[in-house]
Structure 1
Amino acid sequence: MSKWFCLKNNSKNANTSSSDSIISSSLASELDKLNLTKERLKRYASEANALFSNTTLTNTEDELEIKAKSLREEAIFKKLNNIELSMEVDLCFVLDCTKSMKPDISAAKDCILRVFNYVKQLNPSIKLRVGFCGYRDHNNESDRLQGMQNVIPFRSRNNDTPEDVLGGLNAAITQMDWKNNTRVLLHICDFPPHGHRFSDLKDNYPDGNPYGLTAEIFDLVGDDPIKLIEKFVKATPSSITYAVSLTSTHGSNFKEIYSLQRNKLDMNPNEPDWSTLSLNNGEVLWFHIPKSLDELKNSIYFNKSNLFCKSLSIKIAPQPFSAGAEKCAYFALDVKNDAANEMVIKEYLHGAKQSNSIEKYLEAVEIPIVANFLSKQFNYIAGRKKIPKVNFLTVKLLRCNTNDCTQYYTIEQRLKNAVYKRFNTNTGVITELRHTLEAFVHFTYEYTKGYLVICDLQGIELNNEFLLTDPAIHCIDPLRFGSTNFGENGIKQLFLANHRCNDICKKLKLSHINNE
Structure 2
Amino acid sequence: MKSVSAFSSLIKDDLPEDVLGGLNAAITQLDWKSSTRVLLHIGDYPPHGRRFSNIRDKYPNGDPYGLTAESVLKMMQSKNILYFFGRITSHTDTMLQIFHNIIGEFPVFDLVGGDPIKLIEKFIKATSSSITYAVSLTSTIGSSSKDIYTLQRKKLDMNPNEPNWNILPLQEGVVMWYHILNTLEELKDPNYFNKSNLFSKSFSFKIASQPFSAGVEKYAYFALDMPTKKMVMKEYLHVGQGDLFEKYLEAIEISTIASFLSTEFNLIAKRKNISKVNFLNVKLLRCGTIDFCTRYYTIEPRLQNTEYKRFNTNTGVITELRPTLEAFVHFTYEYTKGYLVVCDLQGIEHNDEFLLTDPAIHCIDPLRFGRTNFGKEGIKQLFLANHRCNDICKKLKLNRINNGLSADDAAV
Matches of residues 32-47 of structure 1 in structure 2 within 5 Å? none
CA offset digits 1:472-514 (Å, max 9, x no partner): 1122333433333333333223222222222222222211111
Residue 444 of structure 1 deviates from its aligned partner by 0.4
CA contact (8 A) 1:500 1:515 kept: no
With normalisation by structure 1, the TM-score equals 0.64
> In structure 2, how many angstroms separate the alpha carbons of the residues matched to 1:176 and 1:407?
43
Alignment partner, residue 49 of structure 1: none
Choose from 127, 134, 137 the match for 2:6.
Answer: 134
Alignment partner, residue 494 of structure 1: 382
Choose from 100, 107, 112 the match for 1:222.
Answer: 112
CA contact (8 A) 2:111 2:122 kept: no
Choose from 9, 26, 39 the match for 1:172.
Answer: 26
> In structure 2, how many angstroms separate the alpha carbons of the residues matched to 1:368 and 1:292?
16
CA contact (8 A) 2:316 2:383 kept: yes
CA contact (8 A) 1:472 1:484 kept: yes
Superposition CA RMSD, Å: 2.7
Q: Which amino acid aligns with 1:436?
A: T
What SS does structure 2 have at the residue aligned with 1:187? strand
Is 1:389 aligned to 2:276, yes or no?
yes
Choose from 365, 368, 371 the match for 2:255.
Answer: 368
Residue 460 of structure 1 deviates from its aligned partner by 1.9
Residue 457 of structure 1 deviates from its aligned partner by 1.2
> In structure 1, how many angstroms separate the alpha carbons of the residues matched to 2:141 and 2:190?
29
> In structure 2, how many angstroms separate the alpha carbons of the residues matched to 1:315 and 1:309?
19
Is 1:271 aligned to 2:162, yes or no?
yes
> In structure 1, how many angstroms separate the alpha carbons of the residues matched to 2:252 and 2:124?
37
Residue 313 of structure 1 deviates from its aligned partner by 1.0
With normalisation by structure 2, the TM-score equals 0.79
Residue 471 of structure 1 deviates from its aligned partner by 0.8
Residue 371 of structure 1 deviates from its aligned partner by 0.6
Q: Which has the higher contact order (CA 8 A, sep 6+)?
A: 1
Structure 1's 416 and 196: CA in aligned 2 closer, same or farther, altered over 3 A?
farther
Is 1:421 aligned to 2:275, yes or no?
no
CA offset digits 1:30-51 (Å, max 9, x no partner): xxxxxxxxxxxxxxxxxxxxxx
Alignment partner, residue 83 of structure 1: none
CA contact (8 A) 1:348 1:355 kept: no
Structure 1's 221 and 189: CA in aligned 2 closer, same or farther, altered over 3 A?
same
Alignment partner, residue 456 of structure 1: 344
CA contact (8 A) 2:111 2:119 kept: no
Residue 280 of structure 1 deviates from its aligned partner by 0.6
Structure 1's 169 and 479: CA in aligned 2 closer, same or farther, altered over 3 A?
closer
> In structure 2, how many angstroms separate the alpha carbons of the residues matched to 1:401 and 1:329?
19
Residue 136 of structure 1 deviates from its aligned partner by 4.5
CA offset digits 1:35-71 (Å, max 9, x no partner): xxxxxxxxxxxxxxxxxxxxxxxxxxxxxxxxxxxxx
Q: Which amino acid aligns with 1:298?
A: D
Matches of residues 92-491 of structure 1 in structure 2 within 5 Å? 92=3, 132-139=4-11, 157-158=12-13, 160-215=14-69, 216-217=98-99, 221-224=111-114, 225-253=116-144, 255-335=146-226, 337=227, 340-351=228-239, 354-357=242-245, 359-401=246-288, 405-491=293-379
What SS does structure 2 have at the residue aligned with 1:445? helix
> In structure 1, how many angstroms separate the alpha carbons of the residues matched to 2:165 and 2:337?
48
Is 1:513 aligned to 2:367, yes or no?
no
Structure 1's 332 and 481: CA in aligned 2 closer, same or farther, altered over 3 A?
same
Structure 2 alignment gaps of length 5 or more: 70-97, 101-107, 405-412
> In structure 1, how many angstroms separate the alpha carbons of the residues matched to 2:32 and 2:354?
39
- Whichever of the two has the greater Rg, that structure is 1
CA contact (8 A) 1:388 1:436 kept: yes
Residue 412 of structure 1 deviates from its aligned partner by 0.4
Structure 1's 183 and 298: CA in aligned 2 closer, same or farther, altered over 3 A?
closer
What SS does structure 2 have at the residue aligned with 1:412? strand
Structure 1 alignment gaps of length 5 or more: 1-89, 93-131, 140-156
CA contact (8 A) 1:379 1:390 kept: yes
> In structure 2, how many angstroms separate the alpha carbons of the residues matched to 1:476 and 1:231?
39
Q: Which amino acid aligns with 2:330?
A: H
> In structure 1, how many angstroms separate the alpha carbons of the residues matched to 2:218 and 2:256?
19
Matches of residues 61-80 of structure 1 in structure 2 within 5 Å? none
CA contact (8 A) 2:287 2:294 kept: yes
CA contact (8 A) 1:190 1:222 kept: no
Matches of residues 6-17 of structure 1 in structure 2 within 5 Å? none
> In structure 1, how many angstroms separate the alpha carbons of the residues matched to 2:56 and 2:321?
44
Structure 1's 463 and 353: CA in aligned 2 closer, same or farther, altered over 3 A?
same
Residue 353 of structure 1 deviates from its aligned partner by 6.7
